[in-house]
Structures are given as C-alpha cells and as structure tokens.
Amino acid sequence: MTHQPVTMHAFVDGKHLETEDSITRENPANPEEIVGYAPLNTIDDTRHAVDVADQAFQKWRHTEISDRVERMKRAISKLRESQEEITGLLSREHGKPVYDANGEMEISIMWMEHACSMAEDLLKDEVKNTEDGQTIIAKDPIGVVSAISPWNYPIALSTIKVAPALLAGNTIIVKPSPLAPLAVQKVLEIIASEFPAGVLNSLNGEADIGVELTSNEKVSKIAFTGGTATGRKIMESAADTIKELTLELGGNDPALILPSFDPNDEKAMRRLVISNFVTAGEICMIAKRIYVPQSMHDEFVEKYKEAADKWIRVGDPSDENVTLGPVNNKEQVEFVQELVDDAKANGAEVTKLGKIMDEELFDQGYYMQPTLVTGVNHDSRIVGEEQFGPTIPIVAYEDVDEGVDLCNDSIFGLTSSVWGEEEEALQVARRIEAGTTMINTAAIQGLDVRYAFGGVKQSGLGREYGEEGLTSYVNTHVINNPNEKDLPFIPE
C-alpha cells in the first residue's frame, strides 16, 4: 500500500510555525519512499518558543491539579482514537514493525494514565501541625521545561516527560530527534489540543536548537534522553544557569547467565533472544552483552542460535509475520557493522541469525541481518561499546564472582539482568551496578512504569517513571510557621 507523504509543523503558542527549511524523513525499509516532512526550526524559533512557554507558565502554574488531570485524560482518549494512524506512521518512519510501534504507544499511554492516577496525591500540599507550629510542604512547579528525545522510542520518550511536566504545572517545549520526528509530532499536537496555548510547544531540528533549549536562561529544567556524549554537552550548557537535570543516557546492559540457568529452557531462551533483538536492538534498556559460564558456553550458544532462528524474521515492518524491521538509519548500520568487523578482525566468530523474508527488500533498505558474536573477550569494542543495533556478543567467564565483575566493569549502569535459579539470581542481582536489574527476563518485558527507571554511573542522572518520574518536575517549597518566633541559640 502506498502512502502520501505527511507534512508536520512545529507549533508554539497553539499555532503552527512557518519554517523555510524542512527535514525529509525517508522510509528505512525503502529509502526512496518519503514518509514525510518535519520542520527545521531555527534558534530564533527556539527563543520565541521559550518566551511563549515562560509567559504561559505564569498562569498555568496556578491551575488546579484536578483540571490538569482531566485535560490529560481527554488527551489520552484522543490518542486512543488515532492510535492506528500514529503507529502506522511511526512504523514507516522508524522501521520498527507495527506490533512494536503499537507496543510503544501502549507503554506511552500506560505511563500517562499512571501519572494521572498519582498526580493529586503526590502534588498536593502536605500540612504538618505539631506542638512547634505549622509547616506546609508545597510542591511548586519548576518553570519552563526543555524536553529532548532520541529516535529509537520517540513517542514514549517524549510523553514520559510531557505528562509529568504538565500535570505538575510546568510548561514545556519538546524537541524530538530529526531521525523519527513525524508520529511524535502528531502525538504532541493531539495532547496540546487539550491544553491552553503555550503550555505544550514543539520544535524540530538539529543539535543547534538543542543547545539553545539547554542554555536559555528562561529554561529551568532539562529532561533529556539520548547518548552519553550528548548528555555531557548538555550538562555543560546547563551549568551557567544551574538548571535542574534529568538525564537518561546510554546503556550497555549485561545479561549474566548463572550456572543454574537451563539452556534447554526454551521459554527463557526466547525471552533472552527477544531482549537482545527487539526493535532491531535499538533500545537503551536491552541486554547488549551476555556473560555465560565457560562450562556451559558451547551448549548455550547452540540453544541460543536455535531460539534466535525461530524468532527472528527480518522483513517489511508492515508485514505481520515480521519480527524485525530495518535499522533506523544508514549511519547506525555502518556503526554496528564496524563493531562486528572489528570483532571478526580480532578473531571472533560471527554467525548470522534468523531468516530474511524478502531478499530484494533487504538489499534496498537499511537492513542488517542479526548476528551472534562468539570467541570475543571482554575487552573488545563490541563488548565495551553500546552497539545499539542487531548484534550480540557472548563472553565466557570462569566463576560467578568474575561474571559479576565483568558486568560491572563498564562506564554504564542502566539496566541489567540475571538468569538462573530464582533465589540465587535475586542474591546476585544486588551485586550488579545498575538502575534496574531484572530476573530471568530483560528489556521491555521487565519494565514496570509504576517504578522508577534510570541509570547509575554514566547512564544518567535522576529517574523517570514511578513516583520520582512525577516528583522530579516540582520543587519542594517548605513554608514554616513556628509558634516560637524568637531566634533560638542567640544570647539576649
């Protein structure tokens, strides 16, 4: 089925912004097909958006929490009505299969609903009356929020910021990635239609407007998801005016297979394979390196290949039988291939996994057949760097202590997983340095939006999801009214 290209606009103050230049987004499965156009905003547009958001904040900050919740719930209903259109567009511009695009929408809505359900309780004043007097603990909105998101999960990683920011009484400007700007723009417009003009604004473009959004003095908080290198630059941009920061950065998540793991457990092996390759490996929180006991290595590899060959069907993202689409962009294919080639040049064995459904399509798009890399050691690039694509290295270890050390020997600490007998896995999990550790599962299967998500070490600062994912959008403001007004500890 052919689709007409869509044209998306940035919007500020409830109005579309006209731009001279635009970003052309091609279909990664067929780069000759244009999926649509997104605006290429300028630094002037960005300053205008910040001014507008700052103005809107003066009123919006005083609105009732119940009013904000009602608006958000109406926005969620509208998103449901347009879900099929949005997920189709996301699949075409991103390359992820429709089931996967739909999963992204479901997670987005799950979080938006959960944030609504927590808002009244977590954002209302706490009043403490004691014999010493009264203290009110108010939750003040922070101000103008700049939200910057990456291409791999554009809708979920934008709404994860928009919902709590608006519920808490902030105004926001969202800048998605130019590599998947279309479906998220549609989502943002739908949400904005339920809020007063200027409360939710959206811009599109490259790093230059990101720099303005993270340095402009009227911006009070930055909520960023993306690579660790960009996160470092954002910390520098934010330093001059000491902005609040939530940084969700890169991950190189280990999967530690314990000696008690049964390689013949087909269900567990299937979960592991999915956790390595879903969304063609382009997720921050998927297992990106596997550590296996030396004594189990060969059997494990054999069973892993069997499970991968069953589940991986690479092809047209609109085909229901396909489990993996193309990689989102050519640069990413080249980077992942570079890591695989480097491993091979250093003596690793590279095995192709799964089935290619249509060779012709495969050759025309940004496709990459998933690979398993064995015979590598922990020091190789493919193990130490975040590949963010369809390849997975397996490294052998001698004993569990060494396995744990290898997992922790990384600048990253986003998620992780431990696989084996449950009690033992729970014990070992406590020794892993990460924001989340999952037991006998990994990636999306182990995510629960009711609990905080985020990284340690260079995987980030702060948390999204859970209560912290909402309360990180307010400043605690303590209003103290003590009975005894005289200063203590001061001599007469």
Residues with a catalytic annotation lie at 248
| 234 contributes a contact to ligand NAD by CB under 6 A | yes
**Which residues, 6+ apart, have CB-to-CB distance to 71 below 8 Å?**
166, 194, 195
Could you list the beta-strand ranges (E) of 149-243.
171-175, 200-202, 219-225
How many residues sit close enough to ligand NAD to count as binding (CB under 6 A)?
A: 30
Which is nearer to ligand NAD, 109 or 238 (by Cβ)? Answer: 238
DSSP state letter for 446: G
| 150 contributes a contact to ligand NAD by CB under 6 A | yes
Neighbours of 292 (CB within 10 A): 26
Binders in 58-77 for ligand NAD, by CB under 6 A? none
Rg (Cα) of the chain, in Å, rounded? 24
Neighbours of 355 (CB within 10 A): 16
| 211 contributes a contact to ligand NAD by CB under 6 A | yes
Separation CA 476–CA 409 (nearest Å):
36
Which is nearer to ligand NAD, 285 or 474 (by Cβ)? Answer: 285
Query: For residue 166, is it left (φ>0), alpha (ψ between -120 and 50) or beta?
Result: alpha
Neighbours of 359 (CB within 10 A): 10
| 284 contributes a contact to ligand NAD by CB under 6 A | yes
| 41 contributes a contact to ligand NAD by CB under 6 A | no
Residues linked to residue 393 through DSSP beta bridges, in sequence order: 373
* Nearest approach, Cβ of residue 334 and ligand NAD (Å): 14
Q: Which of 230, 246, 279, 387 binds ligand NAD (CB under 6 A)?
A: 230
Using an 8 Å Cβ cutoff, are 151 and 180 in contact?
yes
Q: In what order do the strands lie in the sheet with 436-439?
A: 349-352, 371-374, 391-397, 287-293, 253-257, 415-419, 436-439
| 148 contributes a contact to ligand NAD by CB under 6 A | yes
Residue whose C-alpha is closest to residue 463's, from 415, 417, 416, 430: 415
| 293 contributes a contact to ligand NAD by CB under 6 A | no
Taking 3-state DSSP, the helix, strand and coil percentages for the chain, each rounded to the nearest 5, stand at 40, 25, 35
| 366 contributes a contact to ligand NAD by CB under 6 A | no
Separation CA 10–CA 203 (nearest Å):
5
Separation CA 12–CA 385 (nearest Å):
38
Separation CA 24–CA 219 (nearest Å):
29
Q: Which of 60, 366, 388, 419 binds ligand NAD (CB under 6 A)?
A: 388
* Nearest approach, Cβ of residue 282 and ligand NAD (Å): 8
Separation CA 134–CA 423 (nearest Å):
47
* Nearest approach, Cβ of residue 149 and ligand NAD (Å): 6
* Nearest approach, Cβ of residue 215 and ligand NAD (Å): 9
Stretch that binds ligand NAD, among 134-142, 145-153, 256-264, 341-349 (CB under 6 A): 145-153
| 460 contributes a contact to ligand NAD by CB under 6 A | yes
| 175 contributes a contact to ligand NAD by CB under 6 A | yes
Binding mask 151-170 for ligand NAD (x = CB under 6 A): xxx---x-------------
| 108 contributes a contact to ligand NAD by CB under 6 A | no
Q: Which of 44, 106, 126, 207 binds ligand NAD (CB under 6 A)?
A: 207
Stretch that binds ligand NAD, among 5-13, 33-41, 205-213, 436-444 (CB under 6 A): 205-213
Q: Which of 177, 374, 437, 441 binds ligand NAD (CB under 6 A)?
A: 177
Binders in 299-338 for ligand NAD, by CB under 6 A? none
Q: Which residue is nearest to ligand NAD (CB)?
A: 210
Q: Which of 54, 253, 386, 468 binds ligand NAD (CB under 6 A)?
A: 386
DSSP state letter for 174: E
| 215 contributes a contact to ligand NAD by CB under 6 A | no
Angle at Cα 249 formed by Cα 476 and Cα 462, nearest 5°? 15
Which is nearer to ligand NAD, 228 or 440 (by Cβ)? Answer: 228
Stretch that binds ligand NAD, among 112-120, 203-211, 361-369, 370-378 (CB under 6 A): 203-211
Contacts 24+ apart (CB under 8 A), 113-118: 113/73, 113/76, 114/449, 114/450, 115/72, 115/163, 115/164, 115/167, 115/469, 115/470, 116/69, 116/72, 116/73, 116/76, 116/163, 116/167, 118/467, 118/470
| 23 contributes a contact to ligand NAD by CB under 6 A | no
| 52 contributes a contact to ligand NAD by CB under 6 A | no
| 37 contributes a contact to ligand NAD by CB under 6 A | no
Stretch that binds ligand NAD, among 16-24, 193-201, 230-238, 302-310 (CB under 6 A): 230-238
Q: Which of 233, 310, 313, 431 binds ligand NAD (CB under 6 A)?
A: 233
Per DSSP, the residues of 218-253 read TEEEEEEES-HHHHHHHHHHHHTTT-EEEEE----E
Q: Which of 198, 210, 354, 413 binds ligand NAD (CB under 6 A)?
A: 210
Separation CA 473–CA 392 (nearest Å):
36
* Nearest approach, Cβ of residue 183 and ligand NAD (Å): 15
Note the residues at the interface with ligand NAD (CB under 6 A): 148-153, 157, 175, 177, 206-207, 210-211, 214, 225-227, 230, 233-234, 248-251, 284, 386, 388, 414, 455, 460
